[in-house]
Amino acid sequence: MRRRGILFLAIFVVLIMVLSLNIKSQNAVAEKAGSDYKGPEYCGSCHSNEYQEWSGTMHSQAFSDPIFQAVWNASGSPPECLSCHTTGFNSETGEFALEGVTCERCHGGPGKMEKTLSASLCGECHIGAHHPTFEEWNQSKHSESIETLIAIGQDKNERCLSCHSAEGALGTMLNKSWSIKEATDPVTCAVCHEPMSLELRMESSSDLCGQCHTGQYSLWSANSPHEIIGVGCSDCHMYTRPYSSEDVPAITGHTFEIVEEGGKPVICQNCHGTVEGIPDYETAVSVMISIQTDIQSIKEEVKAAINSTEKIINEVSTISGVDTSALEEASTLLNDAKHTFEIEVERAYSNGFHNPTEMMKLINTILEKIGKAKELALEAKAKALKSQLSSLETQLAESQDEINNLKIQISNLNEQVSTLEKKVSELQGGAGTSQLYLLISLFSGLVLGALATYLIKRKP
Ligand code: HEC
Ligand code: HEC
Ligand code: HEC
Ligand code: HEC
Ligand code: HEC
Ligand code: HEC
Ligand code: HEC
Ligand code: HEC
Ligand code: HEC
């Protein structure tokens, strides 16, 4: 009996040992699958800064994160969750190599040291109705910043690429060398987010946007009503909403557009109507709309002024003898004004809302330049016409002299004519006597003839 009891106990103990071993080995299999993964500590042995930065982040804790564990367990620990919350996940076996999003998940796989700035790396996980960050980014203009340059044949222009490409932007921001050849990624995730520490590349999101959006940044930062109280770009341009259902997915703010509902920006409600002592939502929006309508109509006036001044300059340039250096100065001023208008006013799509006061100042300097250009062109026109007038006057005086000369010539001629006439009439007088002579000689001829005939007849 005792022996049997001991045997049963032994079998029980062995069974437990085997079972527990089996459980342990299952765990071991789960963690070792793809055991060629070396783990973040290994990479960190050489890249200690990157390791330090990464260690405290949500990526390093993507599996151990208590919130993840709670939600995951509550939903029955489905293995498909692990494809994004672990490294080296095998969807066929449901096993994974390392907890969390580790170095090797992003750097090309086990032991690899590849580097990419592509958004699709982050988009492997930051995607789907719960966090459609990649889809939103893909819809945003940021994803098209290289295509835009290709479309106008500027994709090899270093200056353009310093904002329009990930490589150029990072090179500029971090003061690192970069090459145009590699500058093929648009404004991707890693431009704004440091991928190891997950911090923004700049302390404030406004300074980050301002790296490239220099026009909007300079308007906003020149004591705009919102900048004064610390409301920055992402407070208005990154409307977020949590996930409700597959049909009403989360919004992460990565289109960076002003999200509207019923034609009104929704995000203003985060403060207006919520915070005491500032305009309520309706007022805030209607003030914004009236600022935008006013500035829109002023913009139309500026455009008209630019067009009419351009016309005047073109017209004046056809006047012969016009002062070309004055016209050149006018053209330079006008082009200057036009350029500022196109870049800083037309492109400041908020229609002045970012900073109405500063926008009006800017428009005024533009109008002053246009005015000066017009003045110069008209002055040049007046000068040219005046000099034409005085040359006409000399021509006129010269013509008068000629007329006078002609008159003298004519009166001379007249004199000559009357002398001639006199001579003619004298000549006419001469003809009368000769006829008389003729008559006389005829008569005397006849008399002589008659006398001769008489004498001949009388002879015999
Ligand atoms: C024995 C030291 C050592 C270990 C271990 C190591 N690296 Fe490196 N790594 C280097 C050196 C050296 C360079 C090249 C110099 C540089 O670019 O800083 C480098 C470069 C890199 C680069 C930049 C590559 C590029 O194209 O610019 C990445 C990314 C990288 N390593 C990731 C990793 C990852 C991930 C691990 C772990 C799997 C790892 N490294 C392990 C030494 C190491
Ligand atoms: C396609 C990749 C992917 C899958 C699959 C996935 N997740 Fe996530 N999960 C993420 C990403 C990316 C975040 C971070 C989102 C953010 O902060 O914008 C996240 C965040 C979370 C968070 C929030 C963590 C916190 O601390 O706030 C929880 C909880 C979570 N996931 C649970 C789950 C569960 C449960 C599943 C499976 C049903 C799952 N996830 C499947 C990618 C994924
Ligand atoms: C979420 C993805 C991700 C994770 C996780 C990650 N990296 Fe990176 N890493 C990147 C990207 C993208 C870059 C390129 C952008 C840059 O240079 O800042 C990069 C750049 C690097 C570089 C090159 C830096 C340089 O100046 O050229 C090193 C080295 C590096 N990572 C090492 C590591 C190590 C070590 C770990 C783990 C402790 C790690 N990374 C984790 C995405 C990641
Ligand atoms: C393998 C999947 C995966 C990849 C690839 C990945 N992430 Fe994540 N990321 C996650 C998960 C999962 C979380 C949330 C972790 C948690 O549960 O706490 C997260 C969290 C983050 C957070 C912090 C979110 C918060 O709420 O504070 C940032 C920022 C982030 N990721 C940016 C990036 C960037 C940038 C890249 C590309 C360079 C990237 N991720 C690549 C899975 C991934
Ligand atoms: C590295 C440079 C860079 C940074 C940083 C940057 N942007 Fe952009 N952004 C661009 C470029 C380039 C475009 C235009 C892309 C195109 O049209 O090809 C753009 C386009 C946009 C647009 C669309 C404009 C339009 O024409 O409709 C918005 C809105 C925007 N960015 C907001 C932001 C905000 C907000 C931030 C800061 C969180 C930011 N951007 C940070 C470069 C940047
Ligand atoms: C200082 C950063 C910066 C530089 C340099 C830059 N861009 Fe941009 N570009 C932007 C930003 C930001 C936007 C989007 C918002 C805006 O229009 O203000 C943009 C938008 C554009 C657009 C689309 C908007 C439109 O007007 O249709 C084009 C086209 C463009 N840029 C071409 C260029 C070219 C060509 C160059 C080089 C000659 C260049 N950019 C240099 C930052 C820059
Ligand atoms: C133009 C800059 C920019 C780009 C490009 C960008 N982000 Fe962001 N992202 C931000 C800013 C700004 C925030 C808000 C941070 C804050 O709340 O202060 C943010 C927030 C986040 C968050 C929420 C976590 C947090 O720190 O609050 C995640 C996750 C994230 N981004 C992932 C991505 C991924 C993935 C991509 C690429 C598909 C991407 N981002 C592209 C600027 C950018
Ligand atoms: C108080 C809110 C607010 C702040 C702060 C703000 N913006 Fe805007 N922004 C707007 C509104 C409203 C528009 C006009 C949107 C429209 O008319 O569709 C706009 C338009 C824009 C546009 C044109 C693209 C578009 O969506 O029409 C860009 C680019 C832009 N803002 C960039 C910035 C940058 C960069 C900063 C920070 C330096 C900033 N904004 C700060 C509210 C804001
Ligand atoms: C993050 C909070 C916040 C957001 C988002 C915000 N505002 Fe404001 N806004 C304020 C505060 C605070 C003031 C008060 C500033 C003061 O009195 O100096 C203000 C002032 C204003 C004013 C009065 C400006 C003046 O000349 O005194 C208007 C108009 C306004 N906001 C419109 C808007 C609109 C439209 C939006 C959305 C596109 C918006 N705001 C988004 C916080 C916000």
| Per-residue pLDDT, 215 | 85
- Residues 431 and 338 both lie in one domain: yes
Q: Where in 177-316 does DSSP place strands (E)? A: 260-261, 264-265
- Residues 135 and 96 both lie in one domain: no
C-alpha torsion angle, residues 141, 143, 145, 151 (rounded to 10): -90
189-210 pLDDT tens trace: 999 999 999 999 999 999 999 9
- Centroid of chain to Cα 75: 49
- Residues 287 and 318 both lie in one domain: yes
| Per-residue pLDDT, 448 | 77
Quote the CA–CA distance of 395 and 276 in Å, as a whole number: 81
With a Cβ cut-off of 6 Å, ligand 2 is lined by 65, 67-68, 71-72, 75, 78, 80-81, 83-85, 125-128, 131, 133
In a domain, 225, yes or no: yes
Q: Are strands 260-261 and 86-87 parallel, antiparallel or unpaired?
A: unpaired
Per-residue pLDDT for 307 more than 70? yes
Q: Is 107 in the pocket of ligand 6 (CB under 6 A)?
A: no
Do 98 and 87 form a contact (C-beta atoms < 8 A)? yes
| Per-residue pLDDT, 29 | 36
In a domain, 3, yes or no: no
Structure tokens at 291: 């600022």
319-351 pLDDT tens trace: 988 999 999 999 999 999 999 898 888 876 678
Ligand 4: nearest atom to the Cα of 67: 17
Per-residue pLDDT for 31 more than 50? no
- Residues 316 and 186 both lie in one domain: no
Provide the pLDDT confidence category of residue 26 given band limits of 50, 70 and 90: very low
- Residues 333 and 444 both lie in one domain: yes
Q: Is 166 in the pocket of ligand 3 (CB under 6 A)?
A: no
Q: Which long-range contacts (CB under 8 A, 24 or more apart) does 240-244 make?
A: 243/129, 243/130, 243/131
Please name the residue ranges forming H helices in 2-95: 2-32, 40-46, 48-55, 66-74, 82-85
- Residues 414 and 298 both lie in one domain: yes
Of the three residues 98, 115, 132, the one that is the final residue of a domain is 115
In a domain, 48, yes or no: yes
- Residues 285 and 378 both lie in one domain: yes
Which of 301, 230, 304 is CA-nearest to residue 271? 230
| Per-residue pLDDT, 458 | 66
| Per-residue pLDDT, 428 | 81
Provide the pLDDT confidence category of residue 1 given band limits of 50, 70 and 90: very low
Q: Is 226 in the pocket of ligand 9 (CB under 6 A)?
A: yes
Amino acid at 83: S
255-268 pLDDT tens trace: 999 999 999 999 99
Quote the CA–CA distance of 325 and 321 in Å, as a whole number: 12
Q: What is the mean pLDDT of residues 8-23?
A: 44
Bridge partner list, 410: none
In a domain, 262, yes or no: no
Of the three residues 115, 135, 155, the one that is the final residue of a domain is 115
CA–CA–CA angle 244, 250, 253 (5° rounding): 155
Nearest Cα residue to atom 31 of ligand 8: 350
Number of DSSP helices (H) and strands (E) in the chain, helices first: 19, 4
In a domain, 38, yes or no: yes
- Looking at residue 34, the DSSP 8-state letter turns out to be S
| Per-residue pLDDT, 436 | 63
Nearest Cα residue to atom 15 of ligand 8: 350
Quote the CA–CA distance of 170 and 191 in Å, as a whole number: 6
Ligand 1: nearest atom to the Cα of 114: 29
Q: What is the mean pLDDT of the chain?
A: 89
CATH number at residue 290: 1.20.140.10
Ligand 7: nearest atom to the Cα of 136: 38
Which of 65, 85, 87, 50 is CA-nearest to residue 196? 50
Q: What is the mean pLDDT of residues 290-302?
A: 93
The residue behind tokens 């930062």 is 221
In a domain, 228, yes or no: yes
157 alpha carbon, closest ligand = 6
More reliable by pLDDT, 33 or 37: 37
- Residues 168 and 67 both lie in one domain: no
In a domain, 395, yes or no: yes
Q: What is the widest separation between alpha-carbon atoms in the chain?
A: 233
Per-residue pLDDT for 383 more than 60? yes
- Total number of domains in the chain: 3
Angular region, 230: left φ>0, alpha ψ -120 to 50, beta rest: left
| Per-residue pLDDT, 35 | 66
Quote the CA–CA distance of 288 and 267 in Å, as a whole number: 13
How would you class 360 by CB atoms within 10 Å of its CB: exposed for 0-12, middle for 13-18, buried for 19 or more?
middle
- Residues 380 and 231 both lie in one domain: no
Q: Is 105 in the pocket of ligand 4 (CB under 6 A)?
A: yes
Do 139 and 254 form a contact (C-beta atoms < 8 A)? no
- pTM of this prediction? 0.86
| Per-residue pLDDT, 431 | 58
Do 117 and 167 form a contact (C-beta atoms < 8 A)? yes
In a domain, 4, yes or no: no
Q: What is the mean pLDDT of residues 416-423?
A: 90
End-to-end CA distance of the chain: 233
| Per-residue pLDDT, 119 | 98
Provide the pLDDT confidence category of residue 459 given band limits of 50, 70 and 90: low
- pLDDT above 70 covers a percentage of the chain that reads 87
Per-residue pLDDT for 289 more than 70? yes
Provide the pLDDT confidence category of residue 30 given band limits of 50, 70 and 90: very low
Nearest Cα residue to atom 26 of ligand 9: 225
| Per-residue pLDDT, 353 | 92
- Residues 243 and 286 both lie in one domain: no
Nearest Cα residue to atom 23 of ligand 2: 68
Per-residue pLDDT for 2 more than 60? no
Quote the CA–CA distance of 27 and 25 in Å, as a whole number: 5
Q: What is the mean pLDDT of residues 102-125?
A: 97
| Per-residue pLDDT, 3 | 55
The residue behind tokens 């004055």 is 326
3-class SS at 272?
strand
Amino acid at 192: C
- Residues 441 and 340 both lie in one domain: yes
Provide the pLDDT confidence category of residue 32 given band limits of 50, 70 and 90: very low
Quote the CA–CA distance of 231 and 184 in Å, as a whole number: 33
Write out the residue range of the structural domain in which residue 251 sits.
124-257
Per-residue pLDDT for 373 more than 80? yes
Provide the pLDDT confidence category of residue 440 given band limits of 50, 70 and 90: low
Which of 144, 112, 100, 137 is CA-nearest to residue 122? 137
Of the three residues 115, 135, 163, the one that is the final residue of a domain is 115
78-90 pLDDT tens trace: 999 999 999 999 9
Q: What is the mean pLDDT of residues 14-23?
A: 41
| Per-residue pLDDT, 427 | 84
More reliable by pLDDT, 438 or 308: 308
> According to the per-residue pLDDT averaged within each range, which of 114-123, 320-329, 427-436 is highest?
114-123
| Per-residue pLDDT, 8 | 53
- Residues 292 and 239 both lie in one domain: no
145-188 pLDDT tens trace: 999 999 999 999 999 999 999 999 999 999 999 999 999 999 99
Per-residue pLDDT for 14 more than 60? no
Q: What is the mean pLDDT of residues 214-222?
A: 91
Do 109 and 103 form a contact (C-beta atoms < 8 A)? no
| Per-residue pLDDT, 6 | 53
